[in-house]
Amino acid sequence: MKATAKAHSNIALIKYWGKRDERLNLPAVGSISLTLDALHTVTSVHFDSALNDDELILNDEKAGDKETARISAFLDLIRQMAGMTHKARINSQNNFPTAAGLASSASAFAALALAAAKAAGLSLSRKELSVLARQGSGSAARSVYGGLVEMKRGSAADGRDAYAVRLAEPDYWDLRLLIAVTSEAKKPVGSTAGMRLSERTSPYYHAWVDNSENDLQDMRQAVQQKDFEKVGELCEFSALKMHALALSSNPGLIYWNGATVEGMHVVRSLRRTGLPVWFTIDAGPQLKALCLPEAAAKVTEALQNVPGVRQVIECRTGPDALVLNEEAPL
Ligand code: DP6
């Protein structure tokens, strides 16, 4: 009744923003992501009949009630599937500082889904794990796989067709994502609340949803053709569209700080010198630059020189999520 699993974070190149069903956490749009080697979560789950409540330790500290409740609700799904009621002791560690504004629900829920399913004695396929992880956090459905990954929006009301699929194996393409950390503060409006606000208030919401299939199709093709310039263009386009949606919500969601904006200009000025680099930004102020290995040193240096950038973390394409205390993953 015990298992440990490791999952890597991911960055969406085509963004997920909006839900078609909030209870089941079904996305309104599909998304495409790159799994990242440098950021991961390792989670152990121990179901124990002696426990009265679930106990969550996050980065060596007892988690707060709100976090524990979110994890408990997620474990209820697994307890239900396994037909058992034991509470669990969960220990979760990120290899990156949670305070660095990089804390990602993607690696957290992918690692938890895998460890808890294994500890509960369930043998799930990657597709089933992705469906499960999605119910913890939409982006987590993608972290079940390494490499380049597509999350399917699906259309079934029960969410059985809303899961991630692999677009390309981890060794298909050596890409670099450079994360310029511009703030260590916790973001004021999280993704879930931000999406809800955009859906309710942005006049652009329906245009965003209606256009998403084109972006996904173009990105699939660009990945298949290894057309880096096209991937970069689509990645920047999707990020700016998502932020246009956030900005056009009421009250507008401004996830950027001055260094984020300056970073965008720096990436574009590097591009004007002929360097193939594009940016993306999630629901927070960190600027992420996508490039090929040969450009990484130059881009890192330029981002480090942006006033307000605290550090630059270099990520490569990351691997599949895996169970750690077993020889054969899954
Ligand atoms: C901006 O997966 O964190 O990073 O499903 O509500 O947990 P919930 O949202 P989450 O949202 C990620 C939003 C994003 C874009 C993306 O990763 O696709």
Q: What pLDDT tens digit does each residue of the chain (330 aa) get? A: 999 999 999 999 999 999 999 999 999 999 999 999 999 999 999 999 999 999 999 999 999 999 999 999 999 999 999 999 999 999 999 998 665 567 679 999 999 999 999 999 999 999 999 999 999 999 999 999 999 999 999 999 999 999 999 999 999 999 999 999 999 887 789 999 999 999 999 999 999 999 999 999 999 999 999 999 999 999 999 999 999 999 999 999 999 999 999 999 999 999 999 999 999 999 999 999 999 999 999 999 999 999 999 999 999 999 999 999 764 444
The count of other CB atoms within 10 Å of the CB of residue 316 is 16
Specify whether the CB–CB gap between 129 and 118 falls below 8 A.
no
Instruction: Give me ligand 1 centre to Cα 323, in Å.
Output: 24
Q: Do 157 and 250 fall into the same domain?
A: no
> Which domain CATH number covers 241?
3.30.70.890
Examine the fold and report which residue of 173, 197, 214 is the final residue of a domain before the chain moves on.
173
Give the domain extent around 270. 176-315
Tell me, using a 6 A CB cutoff, whether residue 289 lines ligand 1: no
The answer to whether residues 322 and 309 touch, using CB atoms and an 8 Å cutoff, is: no
Residue with CA closest to ligand 1 atom 7: 137
Whether ligand 1 lies within 6 angstroms of the CB of 79 is answered as no
Residues 159 and 25 grouped into a single domain? yes
With 0.75 as the threshold, say if the pTM is over it. Answer: yes
Distance between Cα 52 and ligand 1 center (Å): 32
Residues 90 and 70 in one domain: yes
Q: How far is CA 161 from the centre of its chain?
A: 19
The answer to whether position 330 is within a domain reads no
CA of 140 to the centre of ligand 1 (A): 8
State which ligand 1 atom lies nearest to the alpha carbon of 140.
Answer: 2
Residues 123 and 135 in one domain: yes
Protein residue with least CA distance to atom 5, ligand 1 = 138
Q: What residue has token string 């053709």? A: 225
**Residue 155: inside a domain, yes or no?**
yes
Q: How far is the CA of 273 from the centre of ligand 1 (A)?
A: 33
Q: Tell me, what CATH number does 11's domain have? A: 3.30.230.10
Query: Which residue owns the Cα nearest ligand 1 atom 11?
Result: 191
In terms of Cβ atoms closer than 10 Å to its own Cβ (0-12, 13-18, 19+), residue 23 is exposed
* Same-domain check for residues 163 and 225: no
Q: Is residue 142 one of the residues assigned to a domain?
A: yes
Distance, in Å, from the CA atom of 54 to the CA atom of 88, rounded to the nearest integer, reads 5
Question: Does some domain include residue 321?
Answer: no
Nearest CA to ligand 1 atom 4: 282
Work out how many domains the chain is built from and give that number: 2
Q: Are residues 127 and 235 in the same domain?
A: no
Q: What percent of the chain is modeled with pLDDT above 70?
A: 97
Give me ligand 1 centre to Cα 276, in Å.
Answer: 26
